[in-house]
Copies of this chain bind each other. A is one copy, B any other.
Amino acid sequence: MRDTKLKDLSYAKLHEEWDQLDVEGKLKCFQDLAAADAEEFFRELSSQEEAEILLALPSREQRLWLRVLDPDDAADVLQEMPEEDRPQLLNLLDDSTKTEVTALMAYAEDQAGGLMSPRYARVRPDMTVAEALAYLRKQALEQVETIYLVYVLDGQQHLLGVISVRRLFSSQPQLKVSEVMRTNVITASEEVDQEDLSRLFAEHNLLAIPVVDANGCMKGIVTIDDIVDVVEEEATEDIQKMGGSEALGDPYLKIALTDMIQKRAGWLFVLFLGELLTANAMGYFEDQIAKAVILALFLPLIISSGGNAGSQASTLVVRAMALGEVRLRDWWRVMQREIIVGSSMGLILGVVGYIRVVAWEAAFHTYGPHAPLLAVTVSLSLVGIVLWGSVSGSILPFILKRAGFDPASASTPFVATLVDVTGVILYFSVASMILKGTLL
């Protein structure tokens, strides 16, 4: 056993301290590591950190560390670098790897093609199990991404089937590969996006998915270890959008402040323009407020309750869409549910709101002789706004998705703003009807 003992999270702690260092500190720390540890450590870093280190290293060391990476990882690292640094580093690779890496860089990072490795274990269908195992031992020495799933290809690279090492181990050695391979293989095309891909992994408990082109020719494999990162990343993007900013793209403490302001101020500004409409709507009811100032007291309560109900509905629906639980065609089922849930919750708040006004009047005599009518106004407005918030919050993601936008843009602040503006109109309209001839 080496100096690191078997201990919980001990290795994670090393990573943790690493996070606190600046580039120079990291470089020094990295160069101090023993060669065997350094390789392992380097491969576990994020692409961004690998890029930082590579760029900071003297050029004779760059070659060594770039070559440590698998082609798919090398492509990711190069994409993290400024464009002008890429050609010089690409030239450090041998010709065949350089071709592979260049090809991978052409895919968008969030497509199956951008996640795949072109190096996978392969056998021919007419080999015997014993031959396949012997051939696999040779491939284990090469840089294939995984040897545990072996792809069966014909001479034209058509994917015929897949066989696991486990199956090879447990099959009669003299059988042909074609007799023991599995033929109904789950595959992905190069353009499948990483969100769909991660759902495939989750649903089928797979270790790897082969990527094939339109002709059924094998292009590479995506392995599950890359998918864990993808799932985290997709959830992070959605959460950040749902909170009302653009996806940051970098860790909170690392992103430059100017970038952070840019990614937040944009949405905040758009929402502000939306909120300005509340001032217009309120202006329209200015005379009513002047006559019955008391109405204004309950306005924040009412519009915020609607916003809260809408936030709940939109986050639940957006997440359900991201998980594939809710699809566009389900909009009517969702709306039915929200009508029931929204009116139930509206009734609860309406009753409490009614009691609040009546009880305050009984205790402090603050609202005057028309308190019961005011209570009815507040109460009805609450039922209406909670229902409206739930319904509009749940439908907005459908509208956005249908129009080709990301449903996660139906952020809680977006929904709240929408409900605020309509809430002002709803509240004063209800007040006009109920209080006409008394307070108004």
A-side residues, CB < 8 A to B, are: 1-2, 4, 6-9, 11-12, 15-16, 19, 43-44, 136-137, 140-141, 147-148, 159-161, 165-166, 169-170, 183-189, 192, 196, 198-207, 212, 216, 224-225, 227-229, 231-232, 235-236, 238-240, 242-245, 248, 251-254, 257, 260-261, 264-265, 267-269, 271-272, 275-276, 278-279, 282-283, 286, 289-290, 293-294, 296-301, 303-305, 307-309, 311-312, 314-320, 323-326, 330, 333-334, 337, 340-341, 344-345, 348-349, 352-353, 356, 366, 386, 411-413, 416-417, 420, 424
Contact = CB atoms under 8 A, between A and B. Distances in A.
A85 to B, nearest CB: 25
Contacts of A192: 8-9
B252 A9 contact: no
Given A165-B165, A240-B315, A261-B341, A293 B286 contact: yes
Contacts of A137: 169-170
B341 A257 contact: yes
Contacts of A160: 1
A271 B44 contact: no
A423 to B, nearest CB: 8
A376 to B, nearest CB: 16
A320 B253 contact: yes
Contacts of A316: 240, 243, 245, 248, 252
A406 B311 CA distance: 19
Nearest to A186: B11
SS class, residues of chain A in contact with chain B = helix
Contacts of A6: 159, 184-185, 187, 212, 216
Q: For A4, A227, A239, A304, which residue has the most chain B Cβ atoms within 10 angstroms?
A: A304
A140 to B, nearest CB: 4
A239 B238 contact: yes
Contacts of A413: 307-308, 311-312, 412
Contacts of A44: 203-205
A10 B209 CA distance: 13
Given A192-B8, A317-B252, A312 B244 contact: yes
Nearest to A252: B320
Contact of A188 (B8, B260, B298, B348): B8
Given A204-B44, A205-B43, A308-B244, A239 B11 contact: no
A19 B202 CA distance: 15
Contact of A12 (B148, B200, B300, B417): B200
19 contacts: A6-B159, A7-B187, A16-B324, A147-B165, A242-B242, A242-B243, A244-B312, A245-B316, A252-B319, A264-B309, A268-B348, A271-B305, A272-B349, A276-B356, A282-B297, A286-B294, A289-B289, A289-B296, A304-B417
A170 B185 contact: no
A300 B282 contact: yes
A308 B207 CA distance: 41
